[in-house]
Amino acid sequence: MKKKNIAILGSTGSIGTQAIEVIKANPEFFCCEVLVANGNADLLIAQAIDMLPNAVVIADETKYFQVKEALASYDIKVFAGAKSVEQIVEMESIDVVLAAMVGFAGLPSTIHAIKHKKPIALANKETLVVAGELITKLAMENGVNIYPVDSEHSAIFQCLVGEFDNAIEKIYLTASGGPFRGKTRNDLLNITKHQALKHPNWSMGAKITIDSATLMNKGLEVIEAKWLFNVKPSQIEVVVHPQSIIHSMVQFTDGSIKAQLGLPDMKLPIHYAFSYPERIATPFERFDFTKYPAFTFEKPDTETFANLALAFKAIDMGGVMPCILNAANEISVDAFLKEKISFLQMSEVVEKTMHKINNKVKPSLEDYFNYNTEARSVATSFI
């Protein structure tokens, strides 16, 4: 396989740091060409010295001189600001862009990368949640492949290899159920952020960990799956699988079901997105069936965890409603992490925001940005 130069947008986050581990484990196949971080200058500097990329970008312009001075003795270009985050993907030397910035902030750079015909390893699910129709159309127009990095969507993608001409009957998205599986609403009245941040199986960033605890993460994945695999919401079913070994499944029209299994480790889907269509040997831990003598499955509790139902509602409404859902959720999660609202109030803020703002069925790119801003303002007013 030809060596690929990787641009990591969101290098200091959970996905970004694991992507660097993947590159370091496969130096003959992957090279770290660009590192982009939001505001964690110290970690970005350490990563740059370790990986020696062609260029780094710090989105927070106030950190520019800190990064510039720290890397002055290295042959590394240093840029800063939101525009630089977008423009850096234009570099001809970049072969794959890993879109791993958290939330709506990752949308502009992903759009810019697609317009410059860069293959996308997509870890930022909000990109398709907010503007799925626009992004998929743009990717088709530019002949750009989008390789999913989410473990669930990577699993579906792997199940579909060799099956692209065969119709999908149903997609089963598996969910761990999070740290509060089986709890009632009364049990969740006094949940603290520290409790919500303790995921039983996965090691992730704070925002996605809270989303997993509320099942919003699974709701966002349902919306993302619709666009990635061109299926109707009615063809997507969420199944709680506490062991987190079966990452997702595809049922075909003959009734046959394919599943992808593996340990709960994001390095494998990152690696697959980088190396596709080839499979390259890895030093990662192997799965041992004797340690998991039983797999269990159950239906999600959408009454206790209302966010999953709200996500299905948003995708059924279409238009900008998924964008509104996402924006309100980002505001509510941030408020919960700052201890301004309770665990259960997060879904209440999202629902009220969706009810307050009128939907627009055929939005433009500008509409997505405008509705994102409006939804954040409305959600903030409910906190």
Summarised one tens digit per residue, pLDDT across range 230-282 is 999 999 999 999 999 999 999 999 999 999 999 999 999 999 999 999 999 99
Which CATH number fits the domain that encloses residue 372? 1.10.1740.10
Q: Where are the beta strands (DSSP E) in the chain?
A: 4-9, 30-37, 55-58, 77-80, 96-99, 120-122, 146-148, 168-175, 236-240, 246-252, 257-261
| Residue 200, pLDDT score | 77
Domain assignment of residue 310, yes or no: no
| Residue 130, pLDDT score | 87
Summarised one tens digit per residue, pLDDT across range 54-113 is 999 999 999 999 999 999 999 999 999 999 999 999 999 999 999 998 777 788 899 999
Structural domains of the chain, count: 3
| Residue 178, pLDDT score | 87
Same-domain status, 342 and 360: yes
Domain assignment of residue 270, yes or no: no
Greater confidence, 370 or 202? 370
Q: Which of 148, 169, 204 is the last residue of a domain?
A: 148
Domain assignment of residue 259, yes or no: yes
Task: Name the band, by pLDDT with cuts 50, 70 and 90, for residue 201.
Answer: confident
**How far apart (Å, rounded) are the C-alpha atoms in residues 5 and 56?**
14
| Residue 104, pLDDT score | 79
Mean pLDDT, rounded, for 132-149: 95
| Residue 208, pLDDT score | 87
| Residue 199, pLDDT score | 81
Same-domain status, 84 and 191: no
Same-domain status, 33 and 90: yes
Amino acid at 229: F
Determine contact, residues 134/110, Cβ cutoff 8 Å. Answer: no
Mean pLDDT of the chain: 94
Which CATH number fits the domain that encloses residue 23? 3.40.50.720
Determine contact, residues 150/171, Cβ cutoff 8 Å. Answer: no
Q: Which of 128, 148, 168 is the last residue of a domain?
A: 148
Look at the chain and count its residues. Answer: 383
Domain assignment of residue 60, yes or no: yes
Judged against a pLDDT cut of 90, whether residue 206 lies above it is answered with no
Domain assignment of residue 258, yes or no: yes
Mean pLDDT, rounded, for 360-380: 94
| Residue 327, pLDDT score | 95
Domain assignment of residue 308, yes or no: no
Same-domain status, 127 and 210: no
Same-domain status, 199 and 100: no
Same-domain status, 92 and 223: no
Same-domain status, 243 and 380: no
Summarised one tens digit per residue, pLDDT across range 116-131 is 999 999 998 888 988 8
Domain assignment of residue 32, yes or no: yes
Q: Say how many C-beta atoms besides its own lie within 10 A of residue 335's C-beta.
A: 19
Determine contact, residues 322/260, Cβ cutoff 8 Å. Answer: no
User: What DSSP state is assigned to residue 298?
Assistant: B
- Cβ neighbours of residue 164 closer than 8 Å, sequence gap 6 or more: none
Q: Which domain holds residue 201?
A: 153-264+286-301
Give the DSSP per-residue string, 191-247.
Answer: --HHHHT--SS----HHHHHHHHHTHHHHHHHHHHHHHHT--GGGEEEEE-TT--EE
Same-domain status, 115 and 220: no
Same-domain status, 157 and 143: no
Q: Which of 89, 121, 148 is the last residue of a domain?
A: 148
Same-domain status, 16 and 133: yes
Same-domain status, 47 and 118: yes
Same-domain status, 11 and 64: yes
Domain assignment of residue 61, yes or no: yes
Share of the chain above pLDDT 90, in %: 89
| Residue 266, pLDDT score | 93
Summarised one tens digit per residue, pLDDT across range 306-349 is 999 999 999 999 999 999 999 999 999 999 999 999 999 999 99
| Residue 164, pLDDT score | 86
Q: Say how many C-beta atoms besides its own lie within 10 A of residue 143's C-beta.
A: 9
Q: Structure pTM?
A: 0.91
